[in-house]
Amino acid sequence: MAFSVSTPDILGERQYGQDVRTQNVVACQSVANIVKTSLGPVGLDKMLVDDIGDVTITNDGATILKMLEVEHPAAKVLVELAELQDREVGDGTTSVVIVAAELLKRANDLVRNKIHPTSIISGYRLAMREACKYVEEKLAVKVEKLGKDSLVNCAKTSMSSKLIAGDSDFFANLVVDAVQAVKMTNARGEIRYPIKGINILKAHGKSARESYLLNGYALNTGRAAQGMPVRVAPARIACLDFNLQKTKMQMGVQVLVSDPRELEKIRQREADMTKERIEKILKAGANVILTTKGIDDMALKYFVGAGAIAVRRVRKEDMRHVAKATGATMVSTFADMEGEETFESSFLGVADEVVEERIADDDVVMIKGTKNTSAVSLILRGANDFMLDEMDRALHDALSIVKRTLESNTVVAGGGAVESALSVYLEYLATTLGSREQLAIAEFAESLLIIPKVLAVNAAKDATELVAKLRAYHHTAQMKADKKHLSSMGLDLVKGTVRNNLEAGVIEPAMSKVKIIQFATEAAITILRIDDMIKLVKDESQGEE
């Protein structure tokens, strides 16, 4: 019998056995229930209001969970799981949480039926390996067969559950162009798509369909002074990480002056030092100066005089991307090894031109034709902040998915097709095993069906009937060699029927599915292994001392 006790030696509460398991499962279930309704092309959005009244409207699983303040330790594992999926793949955050919670729930039922957690864990691990192998060998289709359309379709599938689903044709093409624009080959000769080089700028006004792609990296600030030129070509860019203002004495330095005329000289010298620094930068050939800190008016006049563009208060993140794209070095001090102040021309980055343009009502500095990787910017238009933020999140997911598709080159059918196929396959696999793991694998197979079920429920369709049809198709596909094409049957959630999703263009990168299965299983196992929880009580006596 399991119960919660407080022992005299431990300051706190100890829960063990079935109690903890049930509690963990309930906590994870409640987290999954929050994101459950946002899955799929007809998923609903969540409105989150934080403690200072900021509103976020989203249906991106990772964003929802990040904004919730989760107390329960087991539920925190799921939140971290969604973040991991977001980092690794970029999409599929909702699915991964739902699958993990379902695996846990079913494992808990098995434990209640006197099956040891260790057997369940080894069964789950085996099922995970087999499932991933099956996806890669049998279900994945090479992208070469499908061409550019497949990329657009992947992007559309990723956006289908988001706010911009109505304009997914338009945005999918935008996303594919953006990802292909930043294509580069790294030192090992592998082709990579650094989507961090795609800057997303949000500007109010106009409709979402008037968003567009700009060739060049856009900084969300204007020139520091009106007297500066609007365009510089070719640009030599200096990236600085310090203030360009009148040099002040260091803290704690005291200067005793007996003659008042000396004071003026000190002031003059302070001004001259800044002037010398700026001259060094200009002499090195820089005609665009970006700094993360400020530039005071006295320093600006030198830049205006030299006909250079200076931009202050650039975000650190933007600065890193600009430095990488142009081949510049971020400079945080002038001092060199000898203690002299120098500025090498090798620190400068190169770009074809730097222009200031007006987008919506804001001035933006565009860096075009960068040397190393080409940088592009997506300019999003939309009615209000909530809409723009949600578009930003949707595009982030779509960009990641297109990147993964290009890098891994394999896709699978979406709409519950993979999960149903795996479920049928694993159920058959379970019956071939004569060990205890058989039950765990059978439950794993059942758990995967949660995805098509939730998709159908969210679409207000009859889930039981649709999932039964799906399983019948997949069973036929796996049993009869001439019916292989049926393995890409998935749900059509608008009409409420079953269709071939590869042909219908509902596709996802195979890697996304594999990662979802791996991460969800790992998270479920982590929580399943817990059978004892000790919560320490805060010791009040220490505070009084």
pLDDT, tens digit, for every residue of 478-487?
888 777 778 8
Beta-carbon contacts of 222 under 8 Å, excluding residues fewer than 6 positions away, are 311, 356, 362, 363, 364, 365
Cβ contact 382:207 at 8 Å: yes
The pLDDT tens digits for 413-428 are 888 888 888 999 998 8
pLDDT (0 to 100) of residue 536: 83
- pLDDT over 60 at 3, yes or no: no
pLDDT (0 to 100) of residue 336: 67
The two tokens of residue 389 are 């933020």
Distance (Å, rounded) from C-alpha 205 to C-alpha 492?
34
How sure is the predictor about 10, in pLDDT bands with cuts at 50, 70 and 90? low
- What does DSSP say about strands 235-240 and 330-331: parallel, antiparallel, or unpaired? parallel
Distance (Å, rounded) from C-alpha 172 to C-alpha 177?
9
Cβ contact 381:205 at 8 Å: yes
Per DSSP, helices labelled H in 89-167 are 93-112, 117-134, 148-159
Distance (Å, rounded) from C-alpha 454 to C-alpha 200?
32
pLDDT (0 to 100) of residue 103: 92
How sure is the predictor about 101, in pLDDT bands with cuts at 50, 70 and 90? very high
Mean pLDDT of 64-87: 86
526 as an active site residue: the answer is: no
The pLDDT tens digits for 419-455 are 888 999 998 888 888 888 888 899 999 999 999 899 8
Rounded (5°) CA angle 417-419-423: 120
Enter the pTM of the model: 0.81
259: exposed, middle or buried (Cβ count in 10 Å: 0-12, 13-18, 19+): exposed
pLDDT (0 to 100) of residue 521: 92
The pLDDT tens digits for 196-240 are 778 888 887 778 888 888 777 788 777 777 777 788 878 888 888
Q: Of these residues, 56, 94, 292, 370, which one is catalytic?
A: 94
94 as an active site residue: the answer is: yes
Mean pLDDT of 327-335: 77
What is the percent of the chain where pLDDT is above 90?
A: 6
End-to-end CA distance of the chain, in Å?
Answer: 41
249 or 356: which leads in pLDDT: 356
- pLDDT over 60 at 458, yes or no: yes
- pLDDT over 60 at 5, yes or no: no
How sure is the predictor about 102, in pLDDT bands with cuts at 50, 70 and 90? very high
What is the percent of the chain where pLDDT is above 70?
A: 93
Q: Of these residues, 157, 397, 405, 492, which one is catalytic?
A: 397
The pLDDT tens digits for 510-537 are 888 898 999 999 999 988 888 888 888 7
The pLDDT tens digits for 146-185 are 567 788 888 888 888 787 777 888 888 888 888 888 777 7
- pLDDT over 80 at 244, yes or no: no
169 as an active site residue: the answer is: no
Look at 34-48, 91-105, 266-280, 393-407 and tell me which has the smallest mean pLDDT. Answer: 266-280
Kindly state the greatest CA–CA separation across the chain.
Answer: 102
- pLDDT over 70 at 339, yes or no: no
Residue 28 CA: distances (Å) to CA of 33, 36, 162: 9, 12, 24
pLDDT (0 to 100) of residue 338: 65
The two tokens of residue 417 are 């097709």
Q: Which phi-psi region, left, alpha or beta, contains residue 215 (left: φ > 0; alpha: ψ -120 to 50)?
A: beta
Beta-carbon contacts of 451 under 8 Å, excluding residues fewer than 6 positions away, are 39, 95, 98, 99, 416, 419
Distance (Å, rounded) from C-alpha 476 to C-alpha 84?
36
Q: Which residue has the tokens 């990802």?
A: 179
CATH number corresponding to 217-372:
3.50.7.10
Q: Of these residues, 56, 58, 93, 373, which one is catalytic?
A: 93
Beta-carbon contacts of 207 under 8 Å, excluding residues fewer than 6 positions away, are 381, 382, 383
Distance (Å, rounded) from C-alpha 458 to C-alpha 496?
11
The two tokens of residue 503 are 């042909």
Q: Of these residues, 45, 56, 60, 521, which one is catalytic?
A: 60
Q: What is the mean pLDDT of the chain?
A: 82
Beta-carbon contacts of 309 under 8 Å, excluding residues fewer than 6 positions away, are 223, 228, 229, 232, 287, 288, 289, 303, 354, 356, 365
397 as an active site residue: the answer is: yes
